[in-house]
Amino acid sequence: MSGRVLVVGDVMTDVIVVPEGPVVKGSDRRAAVRSRPGGSGANQAVWLGAMGAPVVFAARVGASDKAMYETYFRGLGVVPVLAGDAAQPSGVLVTIVDPDGERSFLTDRGANLNLCPDDLPESLLDDIGMVMVSGYSFFAPGPRLAVQGLFAAARARGIAVAVDPASVGFLVEVGATNFLDWTSGADFIFANESEAEALTGLAGHQAQMRVLGERFGTVLIKRGRLGAALGGRDGIRAELPAPQVSVVDSTGAGDAFAAGFIVAHLNGADEATALARGIAAGAKAVQSIGGQPAAVG
């Protein structure tokens, strides 16, 4: 592989709730409730590590959790570069999983909101082949300033940068134009169809591809059960279906997709092969509960 992957993003504790049926307002519903490590950036880093990629993960956590998280990530083949926050606890995400596998989220980003430039020194870029940043890092001023500085330093060194929009709700909140201005020029964007629609104002992945291609070098649009497509300003260059699998929980599927694609790309695979590897990883992810590989979750 050509260089290590540097992932920047959130660390969260995922509280996953799977009700036996529709939630009854004002009353009870039996449910399976599990707590697991999560966060979009953390998920990407762990999936990369599970695929054998050399990966460094930079993030901010509650100071009392720092040693625990460092041990956790090291055990999964991830080199952690974590800042401890004395004021805010580590982030928590409550995920409610519908019977069809779709998810709704309640988010307390906690210490992630205080990620700052000091947490992302330029020395992090040594021996790095690609920088991957979760879109959550762009949704608050402090983390945004930090990752924009890292992106600029990476580009100056000729290091590829990639971004995942991460959340339609937050995209709408900050404004699509703002997000595009903050991230334009990235070599890769990994977006699902809803995120691509929010960013372009267009329905249909072919039109979305062309518009996003004006801003980003390579556009990857994840289409869930329909697979994924890759292209740019000239349209789609590769499009593949997804295998038919039983969807248990779609949490982390996009993170697994990104990891599968990045590993194949950095190992020299052509675009269609890398796209296929991403789709296969996403399909694997939806077959178990949680956003990280079942063997380590």
Give the position of tokens 């590590």: 49
- pLDDT for the residue numbered 228: 97
* Mean pLDDT (whole number) for 106-119: 95
Comparing CA positions, the residue from 254, 275, 247 lying closest to residue 263 is 275
- pLDDT for the residue numbered 296: 42
Report domain extents, the chain: 4-11+39-90+112-285
Q: How many CA atoms lie within 13 A of 54 on its CB side?
A: 11
Round to whole Å and give the CA distance between 123 and 131.
13
- pLDDT for the residue numbered 23: 83
**155-159: long-range contacts, CB 8 A cutoff, minimum separation 24:** 155/185, 157/125, 159/3, 159/125, 159/128, 159/129, 159/130, 159/131
| Helices and strands, counts by H and E, the chain | 9, 13
- pLDDT for the residue numbered 115: 97
* Mean pLDDT (whole number) for 211-226: 96
- pLDDT for the residue numbered 30: 93
Average pLDDT score, the chain: 93
For the cut 90, the answer to whether the pLDDT of residue 103 exceeds it is no
Round to whole Å and give the CA distance between 246 and 99.
12
For the cut 80, the answer to whether the pLDDT of residue 19 exceeds it is yes
- pLDDT for the residue numbered 66: 97
pLDDT band at 67 (very low <50, low <70, confident <90, very high): very high
Instruction: List pLDDT tens digits, range 117-175.
Output: 999 999 999 999 999 999 999 999 999 999 999 999 999 999 999 999 988 988 999 99
- pLDDT for the residue numbered 2: 65
252 compared with 171, residue with greater pLDDT: 171
Comparing CA positions, the residue from 185, 231, 182, 238 lying closest to residue 208 is 231
For the cut 50, the answer to whether the pLDDT of residue 242 exceeds it is yes
* Mean pLDDT (whole number) for 278-295: 86
Quickly count: other Cβ atoms within 10 Å of residue 144's Cβ.
Answer: 18
Percent of residues, the chain, with pLDDT higher than 70: 98
For the cut 90, the answer to whether the pLDDT of residue 1 exceeds it is no
For the cut 90, the answer to whether the pLDDT of residue 46 exceeds it is yes
For the cut 80, the answer to whether the pLDDT of residue 102 exceeds it is no
- pLDDT for the residue numbered 234: 96
Round to whole Å and give the CA distance between 202 and 214.
14
Round to whole Å and give the CA distance between 12 and 81.
15
- Whole-structure pTM value: 0.89
Percent of residues, the chain, with pLDDT higher than 90: 79
Q: List the structure tokens of 75.
A: 């055990």
Residues in Cβ contact with 82 at an 8 Å cutoff, skipping those fewer than 6 apart: 11, 57, 58, 59, 60, 61, 66, 69, 70, 73
- pLDDT for the residue numbered 297: 37
Tell which phi-psi region holds residue 104, choosing left (phi > 0), alpha (psi between -120 and 50) or beta. Answer: beta
Comparing CA positions, the residue from 70, 58, 73 lying closest to residue 131 is 58
Residues in Cβ contact with 115 at an 8 Å cutoff, skipping those fewer than 6 apart: 8, 59, 60, 83, 137, 142, 143, 146, 147
Return the CATH number of the domain spanning residue range 4-11+39-90+112-285. 3.40.1190.20
